[in-house]
Amino acid sequence: MDYNYELARLIKTEAAVTEEILAMLEIPKQGQGDISLPCFKLSKALRKSPIVIAAELAEAFPGAPFIERAEALNGYLNFFLNRKNIADELKDIAAAGAEYGRQSVGAGKTVCVDYSSVNIAKPFHIGHLSSTAIGAALYRIYSYLGYEAVGINHLGDWGTQFGKLIYAYKAWGGDGKKVEKKGIEELTRLYVRFHEEAETNPALNEAARAWFKKIEDGDAEALELFTRFKALTLKEVGKIYERLNVKFDSYAGESFYNDKMTPVLKLLEEKGLLTESDGAKIVDLSAYDMPPCILVRADGATLYATRDLAAAFYRKNVYDFYKCLYVVAYQQNLHFKQIFKVLELMDCQWAKNMEHVAFGMVSLEDGAMSTRKGRVVWLKDVLKEAVKKAREIIEIKSPDLKNKAATAASVGIGAVIFSVLYNSRIKDITFSYEKILNFDGETSPYIQYTHARCRSVMEKAGVGGNKSKALKLNGEVDLSTLADDESFDVIRALLRFPEVLRDAADKNEPCYLSRYLIDLAGKYNRFYIANRIINAPERERAARLVLTSAVADTLKTGLGLLGIGAPPKM
């Protein structure tokens, strides 16, 4: 049950409807109830003091099985929940186990999630982590809520940069063995060298454009090199995706839409939206305080925007999406505003269902990253260092632990992923190894440790196997013993899990889930310290094991949705 909503529905006042009351509810100070309604905002409409309003609402409250009592205090209407009534819901949570929180709110609806979108022949660096981790988390959350999620890696596999790369490869790549051996690392070195050489020899840029024209024209040698570079890239980034537990349903990149742009341009012409400006074809957006959306340059070349429009039509036609999300840095805010506005002007009613899920930029402590200048931090190096540090900690704290390598990978890589999912996605990040490898405080290792603690309790209690039978989830457990503050705080946190998942999807904010898991872990650890479990009297022991089981499963599910493992032992 959504207790806040049910409570808001029961509070009757002429000054606010249910949804407004719901938005006003908050958690009161310790000892002043479980849910509170501040009556100050109602004062003007009712022309009464908040103290009087709170007293009248308390007297008129009809009561409910989940509410023990309602009290007015200094302009607040405080509600005390019926702890026994609410604790009974714990049985259903524990019985659901790993499936707790799964919902069908998205049944029959498709959500396309465009994320990661790495560039061919360029390194998978720390700057790609945000898009990859945020997008993958949303993909999993939407799937868990019953949506048909489609993960799309819109590869950057088109443009003059490939002409630059081919020129550099032929000029300085030797016999190609170094590229085959070192892959993207060597391709990046060649790409950086091209830009260094072009600074003193601008003619190289013309040569690069000529090579890209050959790719467009289907030249055999140009296509062979282009295809080889693409295969090398996908092979290497595939290793990173595997370590991050990330998958995609489509790798349709920019080149995929080359033969799908003409119908879109034709439709724009038919609707009278495509105009010519200095030889280029544009959609004038000045009426909407935006610069023109350039779709065809004066030299006849199409642009990223042209391919994005073609991709939008393709995705709508193929997937008939309910939502189409673009997990891309906020630097592209204008680009997506233009794309969405052009689609709206084309009378595409579905344009309103497209959303730019923007996130902050990642920079280095001494400035912005730049592939052209060779100023990047390779993600594979970050993951390697994180796993190394996790292994060192395990060797010190748990030298007898089995599966050390797998546990270190789960902890180290999880910490890297969590580092970009804990804060609001729009926040800028300044990368430093010290920050990203800090496993103390509000980090995923803390959540993983709490999960392992729960599993340890279950194992020591002898119910680590068939826990449903061992915990007697058929109604024999007396959950009324979980009435103390620490136990009740955990139960209330567990009950919030389904709502947190919906909120994370509604706002496209995985940090809602990340912060929830930190909160749940903290509440369980306080419960663990305040209550004996294994050596408690039988009634309390059984109830506390049910609670521990539910926490363990919820933490594991939540971590999994973020793409983070949950080792049973640490």
Residues assigned a catalytic role? 122, 125, 128
Max Cα-Cα span within the chain: 87
> What would the two tokens of residue 489 be?
């705080």
- Give the Cβ contact number of residue 192 at 10 Å: 18
Give the alpha-carbon dihedral of 264, 269, 270, 271, to 10 degrees: 90
Do the beta carbons of residue 303 and residue 297 sit within 8 Å? yes
DSSP 104: -
Nearest to 111 by CA among 264, 306, 249, 288: 249
Nearest to 467 by CA among 456, 458, 475: 458
DSSP string, 197-213: HHHH-THHHHHHHHHHH
Do the beta carbons of residue 333 and residue 356 sit within 8 Å? yes
Distance separating alpha carbons of residues 41 and 405, to the nearest angstrom: 56
Distance separating alpha carbons of residues 265 and 144, to the nearest angstrom: 38
What's the Cα-to-Cα distance from 325 to each of 25, 56, 91, 161, 315, rounded to whole Å? Answer: 31, 47, 37, 26, 11
Residue with tokens 């003091």: 49
- Give the Cβ contact number of residue 161 at 10 Å: 20
Orientation of helix 89-96 relative to helix 485-507, angle to 10°: 60
DSSP string, 522-563: HHHHHHHHHS--TTS-HHHHHHHHHHHHHHHHHHHHHHHHHT
| Backbone φ/ψ region at 183: left (φ over 0), alpha (ψ -120 to 50), beta | left
Starting at the edge strand that comes first in sequence, how are the strands of the sheet with 67-73 ordered?
A: 35-38, 76-81, 67-73
Distance separating alpha carbons of residues 118 and 238, to the nearest angstrom: 11
- Give the Cβ contact number of residue 40 at 10 Å: 14
Nearest to 319 by CA among 203, 459, 547, 148: 148
Instruction: State whether the Cα torsion 61-63-66-68 is positive or negative.
Output: positive
CA atoms within 13 A on the CB side of 80: 13
Do the beta carbons of residue 145 and residue 504 sit within 8 Å? no
Beta bridge partners of 89: none
Distance separating alpha carbons of residues 294 and 280, to the nearest angstrom: 7
> What would the two tokens of residue 225 be?
């090199």
Let me know the angle formed at the C-alpha of 236 by 432 and 111, rounded to the nearest 5 degrees. 85
Q: How many residues can be counted in the chain?
A: 570
Distance separating alpha carbons of residues 39 and 377, to the nearest angstrom: 52
Residue with tokens 């000054």: 15
